[in-house]
Structure formats: C-alpha cells, structure tokens
Amino acid sequence: MTIDAFREETRAWLGANCPMSMRDRPVHFEDAFEIYDTDEARAWRDACSARGWTAPLWPKVYGGAEMTGEEYRVFQEEMAAIKALPPETGMGLAMIGPTLMEFGTEEQKQQHLPKIASGEVRWCQGYSEPGSGSDLASLQTKAVMEGDHFVINGQKIWTSGADHADWMFALVRTDPNASKHDGISFVLLDMHQAGVTVKPIPLISGSSPFCETFFDNAIALRSNLIGELNKGWTVGKRLLQYERSAAPAPRRKKTVKTLNPYAQIGVEYLGQTGDRISDLEAREKITKQVMLEKSMQLTVQRVMAEAKSGRAPGATTSIFKLVGSTIAKEASALKSELRGLAGVGWEGEGFNQDELEATRGWLRDRAVTIYGGTNEVQMNIIAKRVLGLPD
C-alpha cells in the first residue's frame, strides 16, 4: 500500500469510528480514568486495538500494528486532524511496555504485552518512597525470596493511578547488605491481593491521581522478576528514560489559519488592536511560549527519527523531561496570567468553566518539574552524560 493510500484509508476509518466524545477535549492525568471509563471510550479502544492501533509501533505478535515510521507519522497527523484522543493511555504503553520489550523474557512479553495493548490491564509505578524520592536508590521496601516468589514489605508513595491499577512495576531491595545501587530488583506484582493497600492522596487542585501503597507480605512471583536478581537498578533507570521521553507538553494541533490557544485567550481578555493583541508584553510572552513548544516538537521528531535508525535515546530523555515539564508549567501559568483576575478563580458564579480549569491547571502543573525526576536531577544527568562535565 502506498503512503497516500494508507492516509486515505486511515482518515476514512478514523472518521467513521472515533466517537465525538473522544475528540477535542483536554485530558489531564487525574481525570483520564473517568474519561476512558465510558462505553464509547471502551468501544473506541477496542476498535483501535483490533487493528493494533493502540500500540502502532509494537510488533503484531504483542498486539501492535508494526507501522513504519512514515505510516506512524501519517497516523498521528490524521488523529490530530480530527482531534482524536489516543485510544489507550497510561504507564503500560509508555513505560513498562517498552521496558519489557527490552529486558523481558519471551514468556514475560507474551504474558503482559498483549493485555497492555488491548487495555485489559492497567499499570502503576512503585518507585518513590517517603524517604526516597530524588535519591531513589536509597529505597527500603524489602523483598525476600521464598521458593518461587518474593514476599514484599514496605511502602511506596506518589503511586499515580494505583487505585485504578491491576498491576505494579516496582523497585524493591532484595539484598540489604549490598551497596545502595546494588541489591535492588525490578519486579511486577498483582495489585489485587490481600497484602496490598492503597490510599489516595488529595491535592490542592482538587481531584488527584496520587496514592500511597502499603505492602504487608505482598507476593511477586519469581517469574515476574525483570532482568537479573539484584540488578534491577539498570532496568529501573531505563524505564525512567522511557518515562522522561513522554514528558508533558501542551497537546494541540492547529492549522495555520487558526489562532493558537494563547492568542485566543489574549484576544478574549485583553482585546486587540487591528490584528494584534493589544498588550505588547502579552504578545512577547505568547510568541516565546509558541517558539518553545515548536522547538520541543522538532527535537522530539529528530530523536524519534534517530531511534528508528537504531540509536537509543539515552540521556537525551532527560532533556525531554527538563524542557517538556518547564514548557508545560509555563503554559498553564501563561493561560492564567492572560486571563488576569479571571484566571485565579476557585469557585462561584463569577467564573466560567475554562477559568476555573485554568486555576486548577496552574496549581496542578507546579508539580510537573518535580515528579518523574526533578529538574535539578535532570540537569545533573545532562551535565554528566550529555555534556561530559566532571562531578
């Protein structure tokens, strides 16, 4: 099939199968579960899954479509053209899936990847602990091997989506006598067992995806050890690279003739003189933000092209996390700032829904430069591994 024929077929199929409820709406992590927990969302996911389109680049044997790089580009463009939401999201596709592709045994891949691609199973991440955040390697959750399984005791925090998850991928300490970075193993465990307790953590922005997770003699099968025993730090670091390569950034796809969202807000709240927003400072800030987003988009495209040629992203994913999270934080701040007093409302009849969402978005996005590895940690990684600077 030619690429033009692929585009026409993709466009027609998306137009016929993507429900209007799954188009042109913002999705934040904390409300993604509600958005995707509807009959129309499940039908959209299942239809895409049948074509391998929930994981377009994955091998067909694991539930993907094995698209070429050019086909994937066209697929993304056609999805964006109708403002379609991804048919499936979450840590399964973005994080543990690619990690299993790289480190998992064939049995582990066959067990987990098809269920990730189909959306049958949702995942959460068991990394941070109350005393181990940026210094993740100091984690203390213990796993003791007993026969064909590990017995796990301890606590994880900021386990996003744990209250909706079926499985967790976790770093646990399997050798307490080893050095900090050694003696850690990477395991998968079923969240639906008596030894796992999940407690949501409320946030100032309102709804929250964050949880605490407690392990009291929880079980992880030895067959779900990923990589070597006591060598999980290598696997865990690689997964973080996949996480950081999916750094948050404003999601938008506009035609040339359509105002960007910042300009739309500026015109509405600040007025315009001729074809320009009246406030010069606002115009400068909008221009800077749009340029940053475009630069980030082009950088991601370049690295994706390099990855297709066999070059691993490596520490460049820290650049994605550093820049992408900063852009996302600045985006929500700018949307509030352009609205003036209307951008700091919390409740009441004096504010519309967009204004209230702007306030919550600004509060929520203060965290994006912290979770998933703080910006300070990313700058250290870039300094050492990209720029080659001394310690």
Which of 150-159, 200-209, 346-355 has the weakest average pLDDT? 200-209
> Read out DSSP for 177-245?
TS-TTSSEEEEEEESSSTTEEEEE--BTTBS---EEEEEEEEEEEGGGEESSTTBHHHHHHHHHHHHHH
In which band, very low, low, confident or very high, does the pLDDT at 49 lie, cut at 50, 70 and 90?
A: very high
As given in the structure block, the two tokens for residue 175 are 């050798």
Q: Nearest-5° angle of CA 237, CA 238, CA 239?
A: 90
Beta strands 167-173; 123-126: pairing state: parallel
Q: How far is residue 330's CA from residue 367's CA, in Å, rounded to a whole number?
A: 12
What the chain holds in terms of domains, given with CATH numbers, is 3-89 (1.10.540), 123-230 (2.40.110.10), 247-386 (1.20.140.10)
Section 15-37 average pLDDT: 80
Confidence of residue 363 (pLDDT cuts 50, 70, 90): confident
DSSP-based three-state secondary structure for 154: strand
Token pair in block for residue 29: 């992590």
DSSP-derived 3-state class of residue 382: helix
* Cα distances (angstroms) measured from residue 379 to each of 274, 315, 369, 373, 387: 43, 10, 12, 10, 10
In the chain, % of residues over pLDDT 90:
51
User: 153, 189 in Cβ contact below 8 A?
Assistant: no
pLDDT at 235 over 70: yes
Written as one string, the DSSP assignment of 263-297 is HHHHHHHH-EETTEES-HHHHHHHHHHHHHHHHHH
Q: Are 110 and 282 in contact (CB under 8 A)?
A: no
Question: pTM to 2 decimals?
Answer: 0.75
- Name which residue leads in pLDDT, 27 or 212: 212
For 230, phi then psi, to 5°, come to: 70, 10
Closest to 122 in 3D by CA, of 59, 54, 72, 76: 54
For 368, other C-beta atoms within 10 Å of its C-beta total 22
Taking the C-alpha atoms of residue 61 and residue 226, their distance in angstroms, rounded to an integer, is: 20
Please give the pLDDT value at position 205.
Answer: 65
Band of residue 29 on the pLDDT scale cut at 50, 70, 90: low
Token pair 């315009």 is found at 272
Name the most confidently modeled range: 32-36, 123-127, 257-261, 345-349: 123-127
Length of the chain: 391
Rounded average pLDDT over 190-217: 89
The torsion region of residue 207 among left (phi > 0), alpha (psi -120 to 50) and beta comes to beta
Q: Which residue do the tokens 């005791």 mark?
A: 153
For residue 312, the model assigns a pLDDT of 64
Pairing of strands 123-126, 142-146: unpaired
What residues contact residue 362 under an 8 Å CB cut-off, 6+ apart? 332, 333, 335, 336, 343
Separation CA 18–CA 86 (nearest Å): 10
- Provide the CB-side half-sphere exposure for 34 (13 A, CA): 10
Average pLDDT over residues 166-187: 95
Taking the chain, what is the end-to-end CA distance rounded to the nearest angstrom? 52
> CA angle, 390 as apex, 389 and 391 as ends, to 5°?
120
Per-residue tokens: 77: 């463009």
Decide: helix, strand or coil at residue 151. strand
Decide: 210 and 158 in contact? Cβ < 8 Å: yes
Asked whether the beta carbons of 334 and 286 are under 8 A apart, the reply is yes
310-321: b (≥16 Cβ within 10 Å) or e? eeebebbbbbbb
Give dist(CA 188, CA 59) in Å, integer: 22
Separation between Cα atoms, residue 367 and residue 22, nearest integer Å: 27
Predicted local distance difference test score (pLDDT) of residue 314: 65
Look at residue 182 in the predicted model and tell me its pLDDT.
92
